[in-house]
Amino acid sequence: QVQLVESGGGLVQPGGSLRLSCAASGSIFSIDTMGWYRQAPGMQRELVATITWGKNTNYADSVKGRFTISRDNARNTVSLQMNELKPEDTADYYCYAYLKRTTRGSAYTYWGQGTQVTVSS
């Protein structure tokens, strides 16, 4: 089994900061890409940021310059530092990992359970 557990969500005022973390555990051979999606009420899930094993990153235009994604390959963790938060950043944030469980197996995407971020005064 593989588990992804997120932490760090909460309530923050506009302009504030939060740091989300996600740890992958279980039967894991290698993790290619990790990242974060978010889903606001009544909206589709959207990509926030991704990071590869080699630390190449990609961001949604709406968060560029405000959010920073990082990962620790040795610990199978990914983090999202969110600064200058805006009310429109309010959403449930989900981490994911595209990984292989065995050397010859196929890679699949696994998801965390989500953590809520609310930006409000």
pLDDT computed for residue 70 by the predictor: 98
pLDDT computed for residue 120 by the predictor: 96
pLDDT (tens digit, 0 to 9) for every residue of the chain, 121 residues total? 999 999 999 999 999 999 999 999 999 999 999 999 999 999 999 999 999 999 999 999 999 999 999 999 999 999 999 999 999 999 999 999 999 898 888 999 999 999 999 999 9
What torsion, rounded to 10 degrees, do the Cα atoms 105, 1, 50, 82 define? -170
pLDDT computed for residue 105 by the predictor: 85
pLDDT computed for residue 26 by the predictor: 95
How open is the CA angle 118-44-41, to the nearest 5 degrees?
35
How many whole angstroms separate alpha carbon 7 and alpha carbon 24?
12
